[in-house]
Structure 1
Amino acid sequence: MPDIGDDVRDSPAPADVTGRPAPNGARRGATWILLRVRDEFLRRREASVLVVALALGAYFASASEAFLTPDNMVNITQAAAPSAIVACGIVLLLVSGEIDLSVGVVAALAPFMMHYAIDYWGLPGIPAILLALLTGTVIGLGNGLVTVLLKVPSFITTLGTFYLVTGIVLTTSGAYPAEIPASVDNQIGQWLGAAMWAHLGWALVIVAFFHVLFTRTRWGLHTIAVGGNLLGAQEAGVRAGRIKIGNFMIAGTLGAFAGIIEAFRVHTIDPNLGGGTGLMFTAVSAAVIGGTALAGGSGTIIGGALGALVLAELQDGFNLIGISANPYFLILGGSILLAMIANVYLSRLRRAGKTT
């Protein structure tokens, strides 16, 4: 009587699509490739927030049929884009060990500067917009000089700037909204926020540019070095002061640009357009949720943009399924805490050599 084990031992190996037996080495190779892809994905700081963004999208799509409609997609991108744009500058500052609390009010001031330049000073549209952007750059320069040269902590410097710029906006505008000048609203407005997908286009271009700047240039390398080990970076010849001042200027410019495109989107210039601290805190939250460490030395531009997307999904999804906006802040606070705990834990694993 034949042994059952003989049948098992003598049975042919599973055949592949060509009809030939598939060697165990091929299966092991495929498994190894999958594991490498998984490890490479998990090694990315953006991985966790990308999973969260997709999971939220799937949940809200199943909870509300309106979530995936084209109009709602436009709403989400328009809500996420300003925060994603400002988050690019915030990530650079946080990585270099600084922070800017004034970007929200810079976003409120910039469209007023455009309005004053056109309606009161007689400048053409494009120079007026460039002047508005330059205003944000100059404010960032001032923040950087006070922080670097006078050794004032950036939290205090930019907090003072926040109140100064708020006073300028409210005093010069009388705390009343203003109309966007017709010369730019009709000609340039479609490109700068009035068109349906303009916000998304600008956000993608800016995020892509600063991702390359951060990951592929000396400026990004020096930013990481300054935030990770200031003394070591200085001894290696890195001009830390120039890096920090430059990042303050970038953040101020991006804040001004975010305010301009928001003004064109809503077709008015409001003293509260930048949301005061709202835009700033949303951008910082997006950066932290996306994997940027508040202690400096590490971060990701794409993660900050995905963090802005997550926050926009939460706000939009809550509205669609009829949940009060109040729990949004509970979830936001919990998300920031969880993101920081995860960042600290993963950093310890990396230092211990337990992750690739």
Structure 2
Amino acid sequence: MNATTTATQGTAKHGGSAADIADWRPEDNAFWEGTGKKVAYRNLWISIPALLCGFAVWGMWGIIAVQMLNLGFPFTQDELFTLTAIAGIAGATMRIPASFLIRLAGGRNTIFLTTSMLLAPAIGTGIVLQHKDWPLWAFQLMALWSGVGGGNFASSMSNISGFFPKRLQGTALGLNAGLGNFGVTTMQIVIPLVMTVPLLGAFGGEPMTLLKDSGWIFGKIAAGTPTWVQNAGFAWVFSLVPLGALCWFGMNNLRTVSPNSGSPVVAFAKITYLYTLAFVPTIFMLWLYLPKPTGLGLLSMWVAIPLDVVLALLVMKLAAFGEMKAGVAKQFAIFKDKHT
């Protein structure tokens, strides 16, 4: 039995697309060597760059905030570093719903949509960075939206584990997580490069001028250097668009893992629903935590972060449906343990 036959069987049994695989037996050595290995590794090699871009978009505000300071954006240092904090807490919170997405919506559907979702903060960031006079909340909104990239780690890892036999899951997950985490290093190299190399300034917009010396891993960037800071966002579009196509045409949904994911439209609706719910407690917490004019400035960091986690878990518990309800109940069982 080859991969095409397997996919066709999935279509016939579940009414899905040719990317749906119904017969998946990675622990059967004959099946694995004859069919499974090729399909599994194809999904892995697509998953790695998709996750890498997720980490890059999630982490880019650490570089952008510093460059905004060096370029003379009219915000204080504390205000600019809220951008890094917002992206960080949003990405961490998004991992809570992301851990359920593969079973509910299917691997190919999830990785395609969550990778494509990164286009919004990438393009949006490129737009807002061209406007020094825009309010702080516009930049904070883009940082919040970038948190999708952090959430992608949870769905990516749970997706890849289902493709491999137990004896190879550690290797597959190590490759996925380890190489995917190179997104942080990639971002640290790519962003200063596309910001300062004139030929790459063709991505769009007018340059600004560095008011202070900056730098990157290969040396100093002197004050007075023309800087296309908007390319920190726009640059990722050139990898996200082809990656989205690769995810859609090259990855698979395992019906043995997500038997009730439904059509792609239904799967996309589930993903959007859960991600929207996850943003609600984070936005509420940030409103209480962030200083004026964005928020009320009522909470310290040590209260805000645990509160965000608790609220996100509570929202997931209240909003759980179908198979997710049983999964949430199992995860909440840990709170009955005194050591927890």
| TM-score when normalising by structure 1 | 0.31
Higher-RCO chain (CA-CA 8 Å, sequence separation at least 6):
1
- In terms of fraction of residues, the more strand-rich structure is 2
Structure with larger Rg: 1
